[in-house]
Amino acid sequence: MRFAILGDIHANLHALHAVLADATEQEVTQHICMGDIVGYCAYPKECVNIIRELDCPAVRGNHDEQVSKEITQAGLNPLAEKALNWTRDQLNPDEMQWLRELRMQRLVRDFTIVHATLDTPHKWGYVNTELDAAANFSYQRTGICFIGHTHVPVAYMKEGDFRTIPLDILPIDPNQKYLINVGSVGQPRDLDWRAAYCIYDTERHEVELRRVEYDLRSAQAAILAAGLPEKLATRLEKGR
In the complex with Zn ion, the residue whose CB is nearer, 6 or 212, is 6
Residue 34's nearest CA partner among 114, 95, 96 is: 114
- The answer to whether 151 and 120 have CB atoms below 8 angstroms apart is no
Among the residue ranges 3-11, 70-78, 155-163, 210-218, the one whose residues contact Zn ion (CB under 5 A): 3-11
Burial (0-12, 13-18, 19+ Cβ within 10 Å), 240: middle
Q: How far is the CB of 36 from Zn ion (least distance, A)?
A: 4
Q: How far is the CB of 35 from Zn ion (least distance, A)?
A: 8
**Residues touching Zn ion: how many (CB under 5 A)?**
2
Q: Helices marked H in the chain — which ranges? A: 13-25, 44-54, 62-68, 78-90, 93-100, 130-137, 216-225, 230-238
Q: How far is the CB of 8 from Zn ion (least distance, A)?
A: 4
Among the residue ranges 18-26, 31-39, 88-96, 155-163, the one whose residues contact Zn ion (CB under 5 A): 31-39
User: By CB under 5 A, is residue 8 in contact with Zn ion?
Assistant: yes
Long-range pairs, 74-81, Cβ under 8 A, ≥24: 79/229, 79/231
Applying CB under 5 A, among 22, 36, 65, 190 the residue interacting with Zn ion is 36
Residue 19's nearest CA partner among 36, 1, 39, 33 is: 33
Show contacts with Zn ion in window 43-82 (CB under 5 A).
Answer: none
In the complex with Zn ion, the residue whose CB is nearer, 64 or 201, is 64
In the complex with Zn ion, the residue whose CB is nearer, 22 or 36, is 36
- Give the residues lining the site for Zn ion (CB under 5 A): 8, 36
